Amino acid sequence: MSQTGQMQANPRASRTNLEDALNANVWDVDESPHIEVDTEKCVTCKTRPCISFCPAHCFTLLGEKMLYSYEGCLECGTCRVVCPAKEITWKYPLSGRGVQYRF
């Protein structure tokens, strides 16, 4: 209650969690990937930070092989920045393509 005796709105009540916010986004995926990875170099990478730091979880490991999916990319470029071998080529999708934020 406020000093005037009125109930105050809970500021957390109107917040959306991250999963719901990301699910509201729309993707117009281009046929040509905007992320290219030299997956042969990933085999020797011990830390594989792209798996841990990609907020969209576009990178995954299948045995020793690195798999990536550009379709759900949030276009933040984190993968390119954290790759210790600098083997990720990342560019913005063609104009009008990619993620369209809806929050």
pTM of the predicted model, to two decimals? 0.70
Read off the pLDDT of each residue in 42-67 and give the average, rounded to a whole number. 93
The CATH number of domain 36-97 is 3.30.200.20: no
Distance CA 12, CA 20 (A): 15
Q: Whole-angstrom Cα distance, residue 8 to residue 24?
A: 28
Helix, strand or coil for residue 9?
Answer: coil
The per-residue pLDDT for 14 is 65
Least confident of 10-24, 25-39, 51-65, 75-89: 10-24
For tokens 């792209």, the residue is: 50
Token pair 């841990």 is found at 52
- Residue 86 predicted with pLDDT over 70: yes
Q: What is the pLDDT of residue 81?
A: 95
Which sequence spans correspond to the domains of the chain?
36-97
Q: What is the mean pLDDT of residues 77-85?
A: 94
Q: Whats the size of the chain, residue-wise?
A: 103
**Phi, psi values for residue 37, rounded to 5°:** -125, 130
